[in-house]
């Protein structure tokens, strides 16, 4: 067992780590408000938390990390707050490009990025192109992402391709596997563990299709206060659970198998 933090022993099994962790980075505004700071200050601290958590995930061997950075609904926020978030994304990408050769972290963006500024679109394209050279941890950043919009988009893409396809019926038949190819997450395994900081008990239009059999972990810790120790707690809780994917105890893990437990 791997031991961390001498002040209080926290252990998790390195052989049973989740392959894919997804996080709703929530609580930046409330963190700032409680300190009589502008909400934008919370986003700046939250960005640093993301860097630290992403580095820790890489160091302990997590293969995929997906973070909810900006949703399709977030455009309704105050203009100065939106501007700050986009500036932080720009700053992060420029710094990431300088360090990618050293850190060898792959990055992918999930969501409709066509509405972003041309400068951000160019940085995203450059980051994803450079990422193709690397093997190892992959960080997925959800920007202008909403799961309902993703599912509608995937449906439209499927219908267009199936209508125009000259393939066999089996190739154009709508199945879970075929449908998943049209999602932003195509080729990425579904998240094993989804973490929601800030005390909110909802999923906020995040990875609705992909989270069908994910384990959820909720904590009252606001995202700017989230750290390596908080991630350890989530992993420990995850390792205590039995993942059955709709099957009964002792039948084994069969991913994607549905139905109620009887």
- Dist CA 42 CA 22 (whole Å): 20
Phi (first) and psi of residue 243, to 5 degrees: -90, 120
Distance, in Å, from the CA atom of 49 to the CA atom of 233, rounded to the nearest integer, reads: 16
The DSSP string of 152-168 is HHHHHHHHHHHHH--S-
Return the closest-CA partner of residue 22 out of 166, 213, 173: 213
Where on the phi/psi map is residue 217: left (φ > 0), alpha (ψ -120 to 50), or beta?
beta
Cβ–Cβ under 8 Å, residues 159 and 34: no
Task: Name the phi and psi angles at 27, rounded to 5.
Answer: 115, 5
CA 65/CA 193 separation, integer angstroms: 10
Q: What amino acid positions are annotated as catalytic residues?
A: 26, 74
């Amino acid at each position: 067992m791997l031991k961390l933090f001498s002040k209080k022993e926290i252990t998790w099994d390195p052989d049973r780590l989740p392959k894919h962790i997804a996080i709703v980075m929530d609580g930046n505004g409330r963190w700032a408000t409680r300190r009589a700071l502008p909400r934008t200050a919370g986003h700046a601290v939250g960005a640093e938390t993301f860097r630290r958590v992403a580095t820790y995930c890489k160091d302990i061997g997590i293969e995929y990390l997906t973070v909810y950075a900006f949703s399709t609904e977030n455009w309704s926020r105050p203009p100065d707050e939106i501007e700050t978030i986009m500036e932080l994304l720009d700053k992060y990408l420029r710094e990431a490009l300088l360090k990618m050769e050293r850190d060898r972290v792959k990055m992918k963006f999930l969501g409709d990025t066509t509405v972003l500024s041309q400068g951000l679109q160019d940085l995203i394209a450059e980051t994803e192109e450079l990422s193709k050279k690397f093997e190892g941890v992959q960080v997925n950043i959800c920007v202008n992402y909403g799961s309902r919009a993703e599912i509608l988009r995937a449906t439209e893409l499927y219908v267009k391709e199936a209508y125009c396809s000259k393939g066999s019926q089996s190739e154009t038949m709508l199945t879970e596997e075929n449908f998943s190819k049209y999602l932003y997450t195509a080729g990425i395994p579904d998240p094993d563990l989804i973490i929601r900081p800030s005390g909110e008990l909802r999923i906020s239009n995040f990875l609705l299709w992909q989270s069908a059999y994910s384990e959820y972990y909720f904590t009252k810790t606001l995202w700017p206060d989230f750290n390596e120790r908080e991630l350890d707690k989530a992993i420990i809780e995850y390792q205590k659970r039995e993942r059955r994917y709709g099957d009964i105890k002792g039948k084994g893990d069969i991913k994607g198998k549905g139905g109620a437990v009887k």
